[in-house]
A and B are shown apart, each in its own frame.
Chain A
Amino acid sequence: MTIQFKKETFRDDFTFSNSPEAIRRFPFPFDKDQYMYAVNIEQHMPGPEKSPYEFPIDIDEHYVAEMEDRALVLKQDPLRCQSLPHMITAEWDLVELLMESMAKNYPEHFQLTRDGDRWHWVNQPLGIDQRFTFGDTATLPCPPMEYITRQCQGDFNLLDQRHDNLWMDAGIVTTQADWSLDFDIGMNFMEWHAPVPIAHDLGVFDRALKFLLNLQQGRPVRRLNWTMTINPRLDTSPENYHKWGIDRTTVTPENVGNKVHLRVELQALWRLPRSNAIVFSIRAYLIKMEELVTIPKWARRFHRVLRDLPPELADYKGLTRYRETTVDWLSKYDDGAPTSPGFFPD
């Protein structure tokens, strides 16, 4: 299966869009007509064919364009990629995880040949052909985590485990929903989640941490998270909020369909073999309202979820300014009919 990679942008003229196939495989995050925080962690098992869960690492039609956007972000702000010195073993673990997974599941695009420590990596969509010595940083053009994550969709964090806690000690973060790696690096699990409302009191983070401390090698887990973004902008960082925040004031009843996007994060966690660190990947998927409503079940359900969202959650997610306009627009696609259980289209 060869993927047709699209030429598109996530800034300036915002030419991003989803093909009908990409819409159908969108990881719609609501299995009910309302939403509240939960420890919605499940095994990261292979899912239905063509779904974003089919393989551990999902590569889709936006791959090349997303990698170009990442390169632009890093050029403007090198602090988006940082790693504390003790994380170098985990960086190599990540190289292995991503190269193995990409080469195994997308062999027509990526090839990996291993001969002991001598590895040969070919990335055809990005035109890369690299021979290197696994474990020897000097044989790559940049540090290992940066090298491989410039070639893989999604943000990646490497979490060190010590003192019964997880510490965010390395990461590459260019497509984030308003959090700063530069600020959070070195924090533990409770600390980097400090600004999230409500969930602390629900005990969500205590339970999630306990669960993750026991994460086993070869048994990755995943969860979905969501927010909304105006324009298909991947780099909604706090660093650049003074530039993109104004977009939230530009939503009108006429442009909701094209401007307002549901942004879903497929978060996955793997235990790494050499370092005992954990990979925390955050892969963002965007879908415009006019694309979303082509799936009638999703149109009805998202209208209800957004309409009934608790105000503090709407505030935290930054939706307040354009929520009502969006709910009004969506209401045209909600005839009040019951929705079927589960995430998938009918």
Chain B
Amino acid sequence: MPIKSRPIYPGLKLDQRARRHLVAAEGEGALAVLAIFEGKGDAAASATIVYTPGGSAGEDHAEKLADLKPDALHVMPSQETAIVRLNGLLGNAAMGTRLYAAGVEGFIGKVIASGLEHGVDHQSIYTEHCGSLARRVQCVHCKGMTENVTATPFTCSHCGLNLFVRDHYSRRLAAFQGVVVDCETPGELPEIEELYR
């Protein structure tokens, strides 16, 4: 059953009417970007792409994105630095700019959260989920974020509590909710399930 609070990522498409394309991509998300701009030289020429290779560092995705000849391509070393760059670009974005996001869910979430802070309605952002199903999870107790969670329960990387991942997603935090799993049964942990590879 779908999680009602989790966004739906319908897949990227090119907005032909946009005057500017602001594209944020992570890892395998590059492939989704290539697919919509391939053979669309005019559109690419008005596109700014922020890309962080993540787990796809060994591939040549960045070169292929450069081959699209976008107006600008920013290849960034991490999701955090990509978001800093994106925030800078959003701060100067003009009317007629379409925002795109492609990559792992945690990255899409951060792009949407950045958009929200700059007054971009989340429903107007084109999104595509690519690569791992890993989740970004916020510990409800200490509020710390743990990236790339692939199993439940897992250990909070900040406070060390054993958390299970609740099927509840916050767009503002770009994260699922993690809740302590063994406080009613100290020392007794349910079996760890690899659910989000």
Contact = CB atoms under 8 A, between A and B. Distances in A.
A183 B4 contact: no
A273 B111 CA distance: 35
A239 B141 contact: yes
Nearest to A192: B5
A159 B97 CA distance: 30
Contact of A182 (B5, B6, B143): B143
Contacts of B168: 183, 194-195
A42 to B, nearest CB: 26
A200 interface: yes
Interface in A54-86: 79
B168 to A, nearest CB: 5
B63 interface: no
A245 B184 CA distance: 6
A241 B5 contact: no
Contact of B4 (A182, A194, A238, A246): A194
A183 B170 contact: yes
A195 B143 contact: no
A192 B168 CA distance: 8
A248 B170 contact: no
Interface stretch (B10-18, B37-45, B175-183): B175-183
Interface string B142-176: 01000000000000000001000011111111000
B140 A183 contact: yes
Contact of A191 (B4, B161, B173): B4
Given A184-B170, A187-B171, A241 B4 contact: no
B184 A180 contact: no
B167 A241 contact: no
A126 interface: no
A151 B139 CA distance: 30
B140 A200 contact: no
B138 interface: yes
B162 to A, nearest CB: 10
Interface in A218-261: 238-243, 245-246, 248-249
Nearest to B4: A194
- Nearest 9 CB-CB pairings of A with B: A194-B5, A194-B4, A245-B183, A191-B5, A186-B172, A242-B180, A238-B140, A242-B183, A245-B184
Given A239-B140, A248-B184, A321-B184, 8 more contacts: A163-B123, A180-B177, A184-B170, A190-B4, A193-B4, A194-B167, A194-B169, A242-B180
Interface of B: 3-6, 116, 123, 138, 140-141, 143, 161, 166-173, 177, 179-180, 183-186
Interface of A: 79, 163, 180, 182-187, 190-195, 200, 238-243, 245-246, 248-249, 321
